[in-house]
Amino acid sequence: MSARSLLAAAIGLALLLALEARAAEPAGEVLLQRGLLKVRRVEVEHIYQKPGERIPLFETDVVHTGENSRATVTLYANRDTIAMYSNSFLRVATARREDSVLALNVGKALFAFARRLAEQRAQVLTPTATLGVKGTEFIAGATETESYVLTLEGVVGVVSKAEPEREVNVTKDMLYYVTPQAVPKAPLPVSPVTRERVLKEEGLDTLRQVGPEAGTATAPAPRRPIAFLRFGLAPLTTTIPFRDAQRQDHRRTVTGQGALLALELRLLGPLTLEALGVGGGVTGATSEAPDPAAATTDPGGRTTTLALLLGLRFTLGDSWSFAAHAGPFANWTGLNEAAPGSAPQTLNLRGGMARVALDYWFQNRGTLGIALHGGSATPQGTEVERLHGLGLETGTATHTFAALTLGGRF
């Protein structure tokens, strides 16, 4: 064998050994944050369940996150990171400085790629598209028939397998998708609220709503409910101003605690009608006068308030709504019912009430809110007659309560 042949064989052997040594080195690692993680390597599947554990990754490894699981992959060559959501499959095809190819077969992941030079290639493959990236941060979602890309920073070039001759550039806060039903000509804009929802949720629901299910370039609006049902606790206060013969001002205050039940129906657009009821107990009635020695306290009884209010409800973004209503109300209150040997007294109100409310929508149907109610009326009943018998002149009474409510929308 000639010296030249020996030299060529030695060089070939050295290259082969270098490649084998390189393949034996980890291409990166995966950090299990919670849940269950599986890594398939050379047809052998390894299972990990300890949060915080770092598992070496090699080229051709397949990473699988389980239900309610999160994991972060770091590739050493360019310090690229991939945050994997639940029920996702990611294959590390190649992970080198000049050439990185990953495959997201099913699921969802947040990719953060370091900036590349012109000659460096980075791709993410899905079953229906190829994503070309250069220094880009984006969310990708995939099934066997769907692909979604939401760019957070930089640009992603998307080539659909159905149209391999056309590349679509997806810039910041734009969404592009490929489905069996449609391959749009241009990306769709995404609102900041929708962007945050996509980042937080596990599945592809919001991506689908912005994409093929919406068929529009705007973020999906929350479904307009036709009814709200709410329960809550409401501290109540009724105040009756009065004057004595010397024209001194006094005040009769009735306080109580009640349970609120309210049903609100959407009529037309933002117009809604609410029927509410509050029932509970009176903690007492206190007379306040300029002279503290003249103040008296009576044992309480029961109180009931009913109202029918018409008004407007407006949505504030995807999760909040504000409402303002007004209408008639009635209140019936019994006093001295807890005092043995004392004559029970009644206090009745019929007048107008206004209401403002702020509600937060959660878990698609749940609502958590706060509402303020205020009404005024001419007081009636034996309690008012008793005050008149003492030579006191009564004025317009006020009836107020605030409620922290929990309920649902339908």
Has residue 220 been placed in a domain? no
Same structural domain, 236 and 157: no
Give the rounded percent of residues in the chain with a pLDDT score beyond 70.
85
Residues 91 and 178 in one domain: yes
Instruction: Name the domain count of the chain.
Output: 2
Claim to verify: residue 26 and residue 152 sit in the same structural domain: yes
Residue 346, CB-side half-sphere exposure with 13 Å CA sphere: 8
Residue 196 falls within a domain, yes or no? yes
For residue 6, is pLDDT > 70? Answer: no
With respect to residue 145, please indicate whether it lies within any of the assigned structural domains: yes
The pLDDT mean for the chain works out to 85
Q: Among residues 175, 210, 245, which one ends one of the domains?
A: 210
Same domain for 232 and 203: no
Query: Residue 323: which CATH number?
Result: 2.40.160.20
| 219 lies in some domain | no
Q: Per this entry, what is the length of the chain?
A: 410
What's residue 128's pLDDT? 94
Residue-wise pLDDT for 19-31, tens only, equals 444 456 899 999 9
Same domain, 235 and 198: no
pLDDT surpasses 80 at 134: no
Closest CA to 153 of 206, 123, 114, 191: 114
CA 329 to chain centre: 35
For residues 371-384, average pLDDT: 94
The string of pLDDT tens digits covering residues 346-367 is 999 999 999 999 999 876 678 9
CA distance 36 to 68: 8
Judged against a pLDDT cut of 60, whether residue 219 lies above it is answered with no
| Domain housing 399 | 227-409
Residue burial 374-410, b: 16+ Cβ < 10 Å; e: rest: bbbbebebbbbeebeeeebebeebbbbbbbebebbbe
Output the domain CATH number for residue 87: 2.60.120.1440
Asked which of 210, 243, 266 is the last residue of a domain, the reply is 210
pTM: 0.50
192 and 272 part of one domain = no
Each residue's pLDDT tens digit, 73-99:
999 988 999 999 999 999 999 988 888
Whether residue 221 is contained in a domain is answered as: no
Per-residue pLDDT reduced to its tens digit, 298-346 = 666 899 999 999 999 998 876 789 999 999 999 999 887 666 666 788 9
pLDDT of residue 387: 83
In a domain, 216, yes or no: no
- Residues 71 and 159 both lie in one domain: yes
Q: Say what percent of the chain tops pLDDT 90.
A: 57
Examine the fold and report which residue of 181, 210, 239 is the final residue of a domain before the chain moves on. 210
Q: Identify whether residues 197 and 140 lie together within a single domain.
A: yes
pLDDT at 237 over 50: yes
